[in-house]
Amino acid sequence: MGFDVGVLLQHKELLFHGLIISFQLTLSAIVGGMLIGTCLAMMRMSSIWIVSALAGGYVNFLRSLPLILVIFWFYVLTPKIVGHPIDAYSSVLIAFILFEAAYYCEIIRAGIASVKRGQVQAGLAMGFSYLSVMRFVILPQALRNMLPVLLTQAIIMFQDTSIVYVVGVRDFLTTADVVANSTNRPIELYTMVAITYLVICFTASQLVGRLQRRYAL
């Protein structure tokens, strides 16, 4: 029995749909995680002790848990909280966003800290509010500094999407596993999955390397 490419071509649409699900989950988690992570970073840098402590507790708690536990947690708890059944994809997406927000918080906080503090004082002296200084002065510079790290976290997140099979979400790996079991051709399917992840992650890593050299980070 040789390597049968035909089984991949026969199920290419199904496999491509699974890959799209993985990309959708990754991009949605990036956007949601960055939005919440930015708010958490601002809270952690707040001069109000209780605000900073609450954000710090959230970040430290989520970062101390394995992602698969958080996924199971939200898969079981979310329907009980909202009072009605919720599909697996939505519960996984919520888990990813809230989990990644903790990591993005620290990345964004470090990016903000990399900008000279005097610029905040200068903006305040010119009559800008603190939020305006952050939005128009600090965050644009911080984004440039933390862009390589953000992309690295996105690569890790894309790889982590493969564990959503535990709750039945039909991502790329889950779809390939279903096809492999139905066709009894696991070598072809898992080899294709490995090559796909390798190409995507290696290409993204090369981009991160170029950005790091460009910004000398």
Mean pLDDT of 51-56: 94
Q: What are phi and psi of 198, to 5 degrees?
A: -60, -50
pLDDT higher than 80, residue 82: no
Which range of 80-89, 92-101, 163-172 scores highest in mean pLDDT? It is: 92-101
- Please give the Cα distance from 28 to 209 (Å, whole number): 24
CB atoms within 10 A of CB 145: 16
Domains of the chain from N-terminus onward: 6-215 (1.10.3720.10)
- Please give the Cα distance from 189 to 185 (Å, whole number): 7
pLDDT higher than 70, residue 182: yes
Percent of the residues in the chain that have a pLDDT greater than 70, as a whole number: 98
pLDDT higher than 80, residue 16: yes
pLDDT higher than 60, residue 115: yes
**Among candidate residues 185, 215, 199, the one with its CA nearest the CA of residue 2:** 185
pLDDT at 1: 56
**Bigger pLDDT: 117 vs 202:** 202
Q: What average pLDDT does the chain have?
A: 87
Rounded to a whole number of angstroms, the CA Rg of the chain reads: 21
Residue pair 82/14 in contact (Cβ under 8 Å)? The answer is: no
pLDDT at 216: 56
